Amino acid sequence: MKKILHIVSVLAIAAAPVFAQKVTKVGTTAANILQVGAGARAVSMGSAFVAVADDITSMYWNPAGIARLSRAEAVFSHTRWIADISYQYAGVAVPLSNFGTIGVQATFMTMDDMERTTIAQPEGTGEFFSAGSYAVGVSYAKPLTDRFSIGFNAKYVNERIYHSSAQGVAFDVGTLFRTQLNGMVLGMSISNYGTKMSLSGRDMLVQSDIDPMVKGNNPNLNSYLETGSYDMPLLFRVGLSMDVLNGMRNNRLIVAVDALHPNNDTESMNVGFEYGLMNTLFLRGGYKTLLNSDSQEGWSLGGGLQYGLTTSARLKLDYCYQDFEFLNDIQMFSLMLSF
């Protein structure tokens, strides 16, 4: 128990810089791909998942969750995000007996090509460019006791537009503790603690006149624009979950609540539920960013169906519909295989 308390204390100290943020800095961080939730199941529960964290998408929400996997799992999730942005998430996690559980994950965000415009040609130049982001990472988690587990992520993040790109490295850490109070689970995670990111590339190369007041000098000297550096979207989550039915008659009703403290927005809360019938049919709902009056995100609904392929393999299909108020609503699909 002392070892567990020591670990929690260290994590709380590491989270201190997050709570030190006094001023809201909406839209001032890079790598926004890291803020899009992974998996239709978790998102349909209002993204209240840090203490649920019992499937492979835990690598995104709370890496300690994959320590609870009893068999290998793989997932692929797709959604058409707002502004016709395409978002994909994929991952594989494998339990390795007493060593713990290891996993790999990848996230990709792409969009349709756009036409380049200039001051001289505001209607378009006829030249098209692309933009997008991706993040790839590895995960490791291990149960330290029969009730407490801890997990870590290491991620490489890349954003690109036209001929320029930015890259960085980020780390996540999470813990899960199953209490003796009717199976209540406490979860905590710190996500995206990493390097600053700044754009570089040949788009930064311009021709300029060092001193236009001097006649006869070269007005087209090669110059390189230096862009600003931006933090990643650091996020501290803490939450709890409980099966209020306690598995009664092969039914379960998980309720969950998360409290969030980001470095680029105000504090908020996520709440959600999942009802499971015979571990086959699932209904979910939730609300995201409670207490944040400026957020466009709100309620979400979804469901899932699980089917046994063999005695050791199961296939699960999940769906989520999420409301974005004045923006276009999104739909997310996830396919999960345990084997």
pLDDT > 80? residue 3 = no
pLDDT > 50? residue 20 = no
Asked if residue 90 and residue 204 are part of one domain, the reply reads no
pLDDT > 90? residue 326 = no
Asked if residue 208 and residue 170 are part of one domain, the reply reads no
**The domain containing residue 209 runs over which residues?**
197-230
- Range ranked top by mean pLDDT from 24-33, 102-111, 122-131: 102-111
- Measured CA to CA, the distance from residue 261 to residue 254 in angstroms comes to 23
Of the candidates 59, 61, 42, 60, the one whose C-alpha atom is nearest the C-alpha of residue 50 is: 61
Three-class DSSP category at 179: coil
Across the range 5-22, mean pLDDT stands at 44
- Report the share of the chain in percent with pLDDT over 70: 93
- Measured CA to CA, the distance from residue 220 to residue 7 in angstroms comes to 58
Quick: pLDDT tens for 234-275.
Answer: 999 999 999 998 867 788 999 999 999 999 888 999 999 999
What was the pLDDT predicted at 21? 45
Asked if residue 282 and residue 260 are part of one domain, the reply reads yes
- Measured CA to CA, the distance from residue 67 to residue 64 in angstroms comes to 6
Asked if residue 189 and residue 211 are part of one domain, the reply reads no
Of the candidates 213, 230, 247, which is a domain's last residue?
A: 230
Quick: pLDDT tens for 268-302.
Answer: 999 999 999 988 999 999 999 998 877 778 899 99
Of the candidates 195, 201, 205, 199, the one whose C-alpha atom is nearest the C-alpha of residue 171 is: 195
pLDDT > 60? residue 142 = yes
Any idea which of 21-25, 133-137, 163-167, 327-331 has the lowest mean pLDDT? 21-25
Q: What is the CATH number of the domain that holds 244?
A: 2.40.160
Asked if residue 285 and residue 322 are part of one domain, the reply reads yes
What was the pLDDT predicted at 18? 42
Asked if residue 173 and residue 76 are part of one domain, the reply reads yes
pLDDT, mean over the chain: 88
Of the candidates 266, 236, 260, the one whose C-alpha atom is nearest the C-alpha of residue 172 is: 236
- Measured CA to CA, the distance from residue 276 to residue 1 in angstroms comes to 33
Of the candidates 211, 230, 249, which is a domain's last residue?
A: 230
Asked if residue 289 and residue 224 are part of one domain, the reply reads no
What was the pLDDT predicted at 223? 82
Query: What's the domain count of the chain?
Result: 2
Asked if residue 292 and residue 155 are part of one domain, the reply reads yes
Asked if residue 207 and residue 289 are part of one domain, the reply reads no
| Separation of CA 329 from chain center | 18
Asked if residue 280 and residue 218 are part of one domain, the reply reads no
Which of the two residues, 152 and 312, has the higher pLDDT score? 152
- Range ranked top by mean pLDDT from 161-165, 200-204, 258-262: 258-262
Asked if residue 208 and residue 61 are part of one domain, the reply reads no
pTM comes to: 0.85
Q: How confident is the model at residue 133 (pLDDT cuts 50, 70, 90)?
A: very high
pLDDT > 80? residue 230 = yes
Which of the two residues, 177 and 182, has the higher pLDDT score? 177
What was the pLDDT predicted at 1? 46
Report yes or no: 49 and 302 within 8 Å, Cβ to Cβ.
no
Asked if residue 246 and residue 214 are part of one domain, the reply reads no
pLDDT > 80? residue 24 = no
